[in-house]
Amino acid sequence: MSISAALSVSEAFSRRHGLTVVDVRTPAEFASGHLPDAVNVPLDRIGRALPELREAAALKPLLVVCASGARAQNAVATLASHGVEASYLTGGTTAWAAEGHALDHPADRPRAVWAMERQVRFTAGAVVLLGLVLGVLVHPAFRLLSAGIAAGLVFSALSNTCGMAVVLGRLPFNQRGKAPLRSSSPSPRA
């Protein structure tokens, strides 16, 4: 069964039992709430998980999700470049929850972690502010920190990638709550 590249929340909800849901957020974000029966394969690990994802896609169509849909779109493009068909959830887990659908949480429910986009905004803003303050108080060359972040944000927007998110995703607090790749109830496609 082929599905379109983007699924709305209502489409995904109606087809949820016939899909393998792959959440590409960090393990800590995944642990803070994910679609029922989703498996966690962080975006920076998609390449290493290609054999398992290819195998899962042969059983049931893949639905890739993240917080808002941007990382999921990148993952779908990566999978497509390797011959693996997948769709992404428009609006991500944020839209899923906003439409009143439940999110699963682990039993031990670790401390909530900020969404990756919020972590990136905070880090970028803090480094820009630090560069400006140090540029005024210590040496004007510190303003280059702010310029570097600005250049990185422009590149991120143009390429639809985020190097800062990749780096932040590898921090220890974003690694808690790892889940196995295989879904608890894989069933062959009819």
- Residue 133 corresponds to which tokens in the numbers above? 């303050």
The vertex-63 CA angle with 58 and 66, nearest 5°, equals: 140
At 110 the three-state DSSP class reads: coil
Q: DSSP state, 55?
A: H
Is residue 133 a contact partner of residue 145, using CB atoms and an 8 Å limit? no
Report the C-alpha gap between 183 and 100 in whole angstroms. 23
At 34 the three-state DSSP class reads: strand
Determine whether 162 is an active site residue: no
Question: Could you tell me which of 84, 65, 83, 79 has the C-alpha nearest to residue 16?
Answer: 65
- Residue among 7, 28, 53, 66 flagged as catalytic: 66
Catalytic positions: 66
